[in-house]
Amino acid sequence: MQLLPRHATLDMPKLIIPALQLNIRGGELPPKDESGKTFPKIPVNAL
């Protein structure tokens, strides 16, 4: 796949981090927290 000059101007997709987390975990959601809810862990100011 060839990258276009336009690609350099695009922002990172908003859901790329949660999508990567699920892919790395083999489709499994992260463990539930104390309240029983599942949340993706998104780094702040990491990218």
- Label each residue of 10-47 as H, E or C: CCCCCCHHHHHHHHHCCCCCCCCCCCCCCCCCCCCCCC
Q: Residue 35 pLDDT > 90, yes or no?
A: yes
Q: pLDDT class for 34, splitting at 50, 70, 90?
A: very high
pLDDT in tens, 10-33: 998 888 888 888 898 898 888 999
* Rounded distance between C-alpha atoms, residue 6 and residue 4, angstroms: 5
What are the C-alpha distances in Å from 3 to residues 8, 14, 15, 20? 9, 20, 20, 21
